[in-house]
Structure 1
Amino acid sequence: MSNPIKKLPPNAKGQVRYRFVVDAGTDPITGKRRQLTVTRNTLTEAKNEYGRIVNERATGQLVLPSKTTVADLMTAWLKVSTADVEAATKRSYEDGARYSVTFCGQKPAQQLTEDDVDALVAWMLTSARRFGGKPGTGLGSRTVALALFCLRSALKLGVRRGVVARNVAADTKIPKAARKATRARERARKPWNEDEVRVFLAHVAGDRLHAPLLLSLCGLRPAEVCGLRWSAVDLEAGTLSVEFTRTLIAGEVIEKDTKSEAGERVLPLPAVVAAALKTFRRRQKEERLAAGEGYEPSGFVLVDELGRAVTTEWLRHSAYRLMRSAAVRKVRLYDARHACLSWMANNGVPDVVVSAWAGHADLSFTKRRYVHSDPQSLAAGSEKLGELLG
């Protein structure tokens, strides 16, 4: 085998140098074959460098100079990570990746530093918002955490493919103050108490959407309410089967199975909900007769006056309109779900039943995220303590 290290003719300064060309394998991003040309001042330096490169190439540790940008790396990661995930997860990853691409996407990934990642976090916490609030303000720590997850994962892929030597985002942390502020905002977002639920229900008792809103207050997710079909409702037995969801993601309607196996469940209907569903079905039959050929029977429980299935966004806006007219505090429909599960937990329903009703596989998750002790429940606890203490 010929010597790979070649002695170069003296340069203008009379200096003799040594150069070699080595096969560097395939570019992990483009898939093209690469060669590396290395020049050193002495033969010893050239031999040492050649030995290092050959050894690292053999052990898969070789990192070559690369023009791959952060945006290139993020694109490669998204292609791998979203190949077999649900549409909502795919959109979440794309949204999270967008912040790194916007802030430092054109920077070569090999030049990215821990200081750059810290600066990215600072930018997100202070001025990265573009929608969902006042543009130019800071994002919540959960959104920042998602963006960091995406960047870490992309850099981890870069390490694995030999694009970068190490993951410079591995140890980046979100400041404690930002995490504390997010928790404070979440604590301030309280579900309805019993009195507010009663006021709202009294207001919507005669409304066309009485039954769907009762389903929300029974703990169904908005996507589960929109995905419920009449074929899954047994009004004689007084049950409904939660089997499908229907939601709007990035302007596209997605119909799919429940989020998890635990989410697929059969729930017994309270009498008032069963009665409201019977009324709603009668009303839909009247609407179908009135619309004639213009009616589009979709089979869904929640439809508009022409029988067309609606989206979670439509349901939310309809609920907000009724909250305004009822003069009750505006809450998310997810908070109505929280109100239901909190009421069940605070009124003696076993934890395992509350979790099963919610469609959760993790009992601790239900208690941690969905069960709130409102003032009325705390007052009941005080009364019980009073009995104990005399």
Structure 2
Amino acid sequence: MADPIKRVQLADGSVRYRFVIDIGADPSSGKRRQKTHTFDRKRDAQAEYARIRHEVGRGVYVTPSDATIAEVLDAYLVHASLDVEEGTAANYRAALLPVRARLGERRAQTVVEQDIDALVEWMLTSGRRRGGKPGTGLSARSVALTLGQLRAALNLAVRRQLVVRNVAMDTRIPRAARKADAERRAARTPWQDAETRKFLASIAQDRLHAPVLMLCMGLRPAEVCGLPWADVALEADPATLRVTTTRTIVEGRVVTKDPKSAAGRRTLPLPDVATAALRRFRQTQAAERLAAGPAYDASGFVLVDELGQPFKTDQLRRRLYRLMETAGVRKVRPYDARHACLTYLAANGVPDVVVSAWAGHADLSFTKRVYVHPDETHLAPAAVALNHLLTHA
């Protein structure tokens, strides 16, 4: 077999060693591709020729490329966003912002594991740019979301032969950061039953009493904001509401859409107190519409202001925080009312399958793992049962 390394003498008399090698077919056109390499020393040319031939034979050869990490992320986001909701795609983009800030201009093929480890350390200590004080550390959960998206992006880059390997695959979040994050989450507890009752008693005469009751019934804020009067059957027996629409904010825009899953699309019977509150709210809105005349926006949503304009989720959150302050109760996220509701149902004997269906979840274990938070007040029946056992031992 002829030696693939050719001796080339240049015009100035110097000698180089060159080879031309097949590197496989072009993925888009299927045409044969070749690569030419030139070296000062023959042994360097021989080593590179052997390496390329071996990698081409294994199907893992990657052509040298100037593609940056930002370009890799762009290609991934196009691919990953093909069949997901707009809000999910926005979450992917947001999760990858720290990677763009730290590594976006780097050539993808020059990034190594140490760079990913340094990225994680930077995010945990000073990577926050929004949602809090800039320059502080992100939570371990946020870092994990970013790392997961980066791994997925690099996996795609490997498949498309843009990089040799996924250098983020073995990076881990330090145990101390994960432990501190878990402790912070554990300290952020939903209201106990007494706190919920105190808050509801305080706002019984407030204009937003009915929407707040729906939050305390376990509806998501986006479901409350997206509920139309057409999906509320107050004259039925029992009265019901149907969850068919959500309104949420995606990158500063209001997006009205269907629930994420078939399980999220559900019909819930209304407790009597919620039925009465919704009837009062409907009467209030009728009076407001009459008073406003042509200025009234008949949007058809349940949660609207005095001129009929539908609420956004951030507007609802701000109003709730003011109500909590006035009521003198502990400030919790609006979403925590959902956690408190599902915990109450689970602790009061409602079967798991019913709790999950009420929440709009298809996975029973997910409901129990994420949304049910028993505290010391819920453990009392266990003490009573044990007392019976130990007394009659």
Residue 7 of structure 2 is matched in structure 1 by 7
Counterparts of 2:44 and 2:111 in 1: how far apart (Å)? 28
Deviation at 1:310, TM superposition (A): 1.3
Residue 114 of structure 2 is matched in structure 1 by 115
Spell out the pairing of 1:68-107 with structure 2 (5 A cutoff): 68-107=67-106
Instruction: Provide Cα deviations, 1:165-201, integer angstroms capped at 9, x if missing partner.
Output: 1111111111111111111111111111111111111
- With structure 2 as the length reference, what TM-score do the two structures score? 0.91
Alignment of 1:36 with 2:35, yes or no, is yes
Deviation at 1:4, TM superposition (A): 7.3
Counterparts of 2:212 and 2:260 in 1: how far apart (Å)? 21
Counterparts of 1:210 and 1:10 in 2: how far apart (Å)? 87
Size of the aligned set, in residue pairs, is: 387
Counterparts of 1:10 and 1:325 in 2: how far apart (Å)? 86
Counterparts of 2:355 and 2:257 in 1: how far apart (Å)? 24
Spell out the pairing of 1:129-168 with structure 2 (5 A cutoff): 129-168=128-167
Counterparts of 1:28 and 1:317 in 2: how far apart (Å)? 52
* C-alpha spacing 1:386/1:318, structure 2 compared with 1 (3 Å): same
Paired residues of 1:141 and 1:174 also in contact (CA < 8 A): yes
Which amino acid letter does the alignment assign opposite residue 318 of structure 1? R
Deviation at 1:131, TM superposition (A): 1.9
Aligned residue for 2:19, secondary structure, equals strand
**Unaligned 5+ residue runs, structure 1?**
none
Counterparts of 1:34 and 1:216 in 2: how far apart (Å)? 61
Paired residues of 1:228 and 1:302 also in contact (CA < 8 A): yes
Which amino acid letter does the alignment assign opposite residue 328 of structure 1? V
Residue 277 of structure 1 is matched in structure 2 by 278
Counterparts of 1:46 and 1:130 in 2: how far apart (Å)? 47
Paired residues of 1:245 and 1:258 also in contact (CA < 8 A): yes
Residue 181 of structure 2 is matched in structure 1 by 182
Counterparts of 2:329 and 2:32 in 1: how far apart (Å)? 66
Residue 312 of structure 1 is matched in structure 2 by 313
Counterparts of 1:256 and 1:4 in 2: how far apart (Å)? 62
Counterparts of 1:46 and 1:194 in 2: how far apart (Å)? 75
Spell out the pairing of 1:1-390 with structure 2 (5 A cutoff): 6-9=6-9, 16-22=15-21, 36-40=35-39, 46=45, 49-50=48-49, 53=52, 56-57=55-56, 60-237=59-236, 238-390=239-391
Which amino acid letter does the alignment assign opposite residue 222 of structure 1? P
* C-alpha spacing 1:28/1:121, structure 2 compared with 1 (3 Å): farther
Which amino acid letter does the alignment assign opposite residue 156 of structure 1? N
* C-alpha spacing 1:112/1:199, structure 2 compared with 1 (3 Å): same
Deviation at 1:47, TM superposition (A): 6.6
* C-alpha spacing 1:27/1:71, structure 2 compared with 1 (3 Å): farther
Counterparts of 1:48 and 1:105 in 2: how far apart (Å)? 32
Counterparts of 1:50 and 1:243 in 2: how far apart (Å)? 62
Counterparts of 2:43 and 2:377 in 1: how far apart (Å)? 81
Deviation at 1:301, TM superposition (A): 0.8
Counterparts of 1:195 and 1:32 in 2: how far apart (Å)? 72
Deviation at 1:78, TM superposition (A): 1.3
Counterparts of 1:51 and 1:111 in 2: how far apart (Å)? 22
Counterparts of 1:272 and 1:281 in 2: how far apart (Å)? 14
Aligned residue for 1:122, secondary structure, equals helix
Deviation at 1:87, TM superposition (A): 1.6
Out of 354-363 and 130-139, give the one that drifted further: 130-139
Counterparts of 2:125 and 2:206 in 1: how far apart (Å)? 43
Deviation at 1:385, TM superposition (A): 2.5
Instruction: Provide Cα deviations, 1:271-310, integer angstroms capped at 9, x if missing partner.
Output: 1101111111111111110000111111111111111111
Paired residues of 1:20 and 1:38 also in contact (CA < 8 A): yes
**Unaligned 5+ residue runs, structure 2?**
none
Out of 287-296 and 72-81, give the one that drifted further: 72-81
* C-alpha spacing 1:53/1:301, structure 2 compared with 1 (3 Å): same
Paired residues of 1:28 and 1:163 also in contact (CA < 8 A): no
Aligned residue for 2:83, secondary structure, equals coil
Deviation at 1:158, TM superposition (A): 1.6
Counterparts of 1:206 and 1:98 in 2: how far apart (Å)? 44
Paired residues of 1:28 and 1:162 also in contact (CA < 8 A): no
Deviation at 1:125, TM superposition (A): 0.5
Counterparts of 1:33 and 1:150 in 2: how far apart (Å)? 33
Deviation at 1:95, TM superposition (A): 1.1
Counterparts of 1:177 and 1:334 in 2: how far apart (Å)? 27
Aligned residue for 2:268, secondary structure, equals strand
Which amino acid letter does the alignment assign opposite residue 8 of structure 1? V
Out of 41-50 and 155-164, give the one that drifted further: 41-50
Counterparts of 2:140 and 2:268 in 1: how far apart (Å)? 35
Which amino acid letter does the alignment assign opposite residue 216 of structure 1? L
Instruction: Provide Cα deviations, 1:132-177, integer angstroms capped at 9, x if missing partner.
Output: 2222111001110111112211211221111211111111111111
Which amino acid letter does the alignment assign opposite residue 118 of structure 1? D
Counterparts of 1:198 and 1:313 in 2: how far apart (Å)? 24
Aligned-pair identity in percent equals 57
